[in-house]
């Protein structure tokens, strides 16, 4: 069966047709989700949720774009929703860090572990900042309109060429470049606000 016939049968509830329909695109779907989540186990879970969403929404698919483009958008949105619902930024405090050693009245270390423990503190705080910046980036990505988010993910996360993105999304290359530029500007503005200490 061709793709159009598979879509029709899958929309009518044929699970075998649905399996045949999505099978050629599973690699694309999984890699897109993995780029968003960065964890294979989470990506597997999000892919299952995305496939369920594709299956449930298939009757509303109107073939105004390619099935793979429409389904890929569903997968990216599922990844972002999964990340939003599961993300928990751990707030490290000094109390949670190892003891910093003993000091004499002059402030000199009496514990040989102190230098290492100060290093551990600095590393832990740097990791917190990195996670917060990463979360800010994904919030910025989540806030992008779908057309901008699609090209941003494919170009800057998936490393596709402009021509490949244009073919995948049925868009002209200049349109892809324009949307990519706008997406980058919006993401950079949000990251800049985060770095400068303003709410993102």
- Does residue 132 lie in a domain region? yes
Domain boundary among 50, 67, 87: 87
Domain CATH code at residue 8: 1.10.1740.10
Confidence of residue 124 (pLDDT cuts 50, 70, 90): low
Please indicate, yes or no, if residue 101 is contained in any of the structural domains: no
Supply the pLDDT for residue 45. Answer: 92
pLDDT tens readout for residues 128-172 = 566 666 777 777 887 888 888 888 888 887 778 899 888 888 889
Q: What percent of the chain has pLDDT over 90?
A: 27
Same domain membership, residue 121 and residue 47: no
DSSP string, 131-166: HHHHHHHHHHHHHS-HHHHHHHIIIIIS---HHHHH
Look at residue 91 and tell me whether its pLDDT is greater than 80.
Answer: no
Domain span including residue 72:
1-87
* Residue 9: per-residue pLDDT: 94
Q: How many CB atoms lie within 10 A of CB 115?
A: 12
Whether 130 contacts 90, CB under 8 Å: no
Placement of tokens 């594709």 in the chain: 54
Q: Which of 87, 106, 136 lies at the terminal end of a domain, its last residue?
A: 87
Number of domains in the chain: 2
pLDDT given at position 62: 82
* pLDDT the model gives residue 54: 94
Tell me: do 71 and 126 sit in the same domain: no
- Residue 45 belongs to some domain of the structure: yes
In a domain, 111, yes or no: no
Q: Please report, for residues 18, 54, 72, the alpha-carbon distance to residue 170 in angstroms, rounded to integers and kept in the order given.
A: 23, 20, 13
pLDDT at residue 131, as a whole number: 66
Average pLDDT over residues 22-31: 92
Q: What is the mean pLDDT of the chain?
A: 77
Position 5 in a domain: yes
Is the pLDDT score of 186 beyond 80?
yes
Asked if residue 177 belongs to a domain, the reply is: yes
Q: What is the pLDDT of residue 114?
A: 44
Q: Is the pLDDT of residue 55 over 70?
A: yes
pLDDT for 106 equals 47
Residue 119 has pLDDT above 60, yes or no: no
Q: Which two tokens stand for residue 186?
A: 């919006």
């Amino acid at each position: 069966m061709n793709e159009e016939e598979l879509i029709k049968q899958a929309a009518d509830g044929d699970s075998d047709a649905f399996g045949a329909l999505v099978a050629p695109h599973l690699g694309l779907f999984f890699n897109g989700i993995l780029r968003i989540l960065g964890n294979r186990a989470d990506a597997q879970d999000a892919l299952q949720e995305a496939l369920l969403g594709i299956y449930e929404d298939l009757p509303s698919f109107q073939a105004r774009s390619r099935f793979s483009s429409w389904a890929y958008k569903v997968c990216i949105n599922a990844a972002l929703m999964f990340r939003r619902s599961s993300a928990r930024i751990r707030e490290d405090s000094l109390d949670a860090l190892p003891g910093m050693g003993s000091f004499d009245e002059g402030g000199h270390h009496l514990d040989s572990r102190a230098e290492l423990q100060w290093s551990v503190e600095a590393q832990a705080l740097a990791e917190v900042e990195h996670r917060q910046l990463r979360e800010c980036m994904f919030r910025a990505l989540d806030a992008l309109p779908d057309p901008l988010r699609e090209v941003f993910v494919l170009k800057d996360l998936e490393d596709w060429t402009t021509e490949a993105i244009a073919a995948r999304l049925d868009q002209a290359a200049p349109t892809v470049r324009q949307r990519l530029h706008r997406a980058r500007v919006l993401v950079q503005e949000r990251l800049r606000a985060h770095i400068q200490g303003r709410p993102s």
